[in-house]
Amino acid sequence: MNVCILSKFPPLEGGISARTYWLARAYADAGISVHVVSNCNSIEKSYRIDKCLTHIQNIPGVTIHEVESEFPWHIPNEPHSLAKLVDKTLEVIDCHRVDVIDSGYLLPYGIAAFLVNRLTGIPYAVRHGGSDLVKFLKAGRLKHLLKHVLDNAAVIVTDPANKDTFASVTSRKVLLSPYVPNPRYFCLQERCESTEPTLLFMGKINWHWERKGIDRILRCVRLLPPSWNMQWIGQGKGEAKFREFAKTKVNLETVLEPFVPPWDVPDRLKHANYIFCLSIDDPISSYSNIVVEAVCCGATIVVDNGLDLGLYPVIQGGLKTRVLQVDSTNPESMARALLEHWEQRKDVISDVPVSPEFYEGYRVANVAALSVAAGCEKIL
């Protein structure tokens, strides 16, 4: 079977991009020939991961096809991402056999898959993120077009938390976990422990950076011993505000590292003791890769009441031993909780928080959903 993936993909940063990367590798491991049509060469620098082109161009079984980066200036001028994606996908189909299209986000990828299907008859699967459901589908934006995109999909891949959103859609639905890390990479092996803890924040730093509790983390870190190592990995349009807040409000020196690609994330998590996963008044409650990845790698996730742990049934076995719930409104309380937890810590627990069977079930179910979309198997 040959699949063409239309989705966010590295060097584009983000959860959907990382999930698509690991899914493409899972498909390739299953013997599927994977072609990824990517528009990451046209995205804003704030959301690009540097120095990863060599890697993505050499993934066994996966071929990357980038859209045209330049476009003639005209009136009215616009990026034309949708047209570029459709054109490049048609080129891939002309040069390679494609049995099915797997689209990973409604706009523009799901729409592009629908248009290619209308032009070629090749069936497509639709996936989604949390933000595109809230900002477009549930908000009624482009509702006439998106209705056609969903009703004509061979399969809609969603998760139990969002199944009711598609109750009126006539297409076949497959319910899967949004993401399960591959235990070949996200595991306790080669974990690095130190005498002083390493704390980590990893993610976008956007205009609404306070919704991730970054200001609260800064106030908390200011109260911890100087020997504790706080690492910041992130980019975004809120970087200037982040640096100014750290300098003027907290009087804290910070070093902000750029994004790391998905394949380097396991190593960073294995060197961290605590991962901050706060959520403050976030209007879009969505699944976070870093929560499950950190637990798989033996790190403790620091959460508050804003994070819905019910979204992560796959890590329920690790919640008691690898989750530290804090009152993020009180920096003194947060710091005290971290200090007490570190003092009372035990050696890294040797049990596997996410059973390899969970990942295998996730991998097999995704391949089966793709086969269903291609018309190769009966519905799951």
Task: Tell me, yes or no, whether 121 lies in a domain.
Answer: yes
DSSP 146-208: HHHHHHT-SEEEE-GGGGGGGTT--SEEEE--S----TTTSSSTT----SS-EEEEES---TT
Average pLDDT over residues 285-306: 89
Residues 168 and 218 occupy one common structural domain: no
0.85 exceeded by the pTM?
A: yes
Average pLDDT over residues 17-35: 96
Task: Tell me, yes or no, whether 191 lies in a domain.
Answer: no
pLDDT at 171: 92
Residue 226 confidence (pLDDT) above 90: yes
pLDDT at 318: 63
Residues 6 or more apart whose Cβ sits within 8 Å of residue 181: 22, 289, 292, 293, 296, 354, 359
The two counts, helices (H) then strands (E), for the chain are 13, 13
Residues 222 and 294 occupy one common structural domain: yes
- Residues of the chain with pLDDT > 70: what percent? 94
User: Which whole-number Å values give the CA distances from 145 to 106, 110, 136, 219, in the listed order?
Assistant: 11, 10, 11, 46
Residues 81 and 141 occupy one common structural domain: yes
Task: Tell me, yes or no, whether 193 lies in a domain.
Answer: no
Mean pLDDT is lowest, of 81-85, 138-142, 191-195, for 191-195
Task: Tell me, yes or no, whether 67 lies in a domain.
Answer: yes
3-state secondary structure of 281: coil
pLDDT at 207: 79
Question: What's the CATH number where 150 sits?
Answer: 3.40.50.2000
| Cα angle for residues 167, 172, 369 (degrees, 5° grid) | 130
Mean pLDDT is lowest, of 109-118, 246-255, 325-334, for 246-255
> Mean of the per-residue pLDDT values for the chain?
89
pLDDT band at 346 (very low <50, low <70, confident <90, very high): low
**Exposed, middle or buried by CB within 10 Å (0-12, 13-18, 19+), for 20?**
buried
Task: Tell me, yes or no, whether 27 lies in a domain.
Answer: yes
DSSP 243-269: HHIIIIIS-----EEPP--GGGHHHHH
Distance of CA 348 to the CA centre of its chain: 26
Residues 364 and 316 occupy one common structural domain: no
What is the total residue count of the chain? 380
Task: Tell me, yes or no, whether 379 lies in a domain.
Answer: no
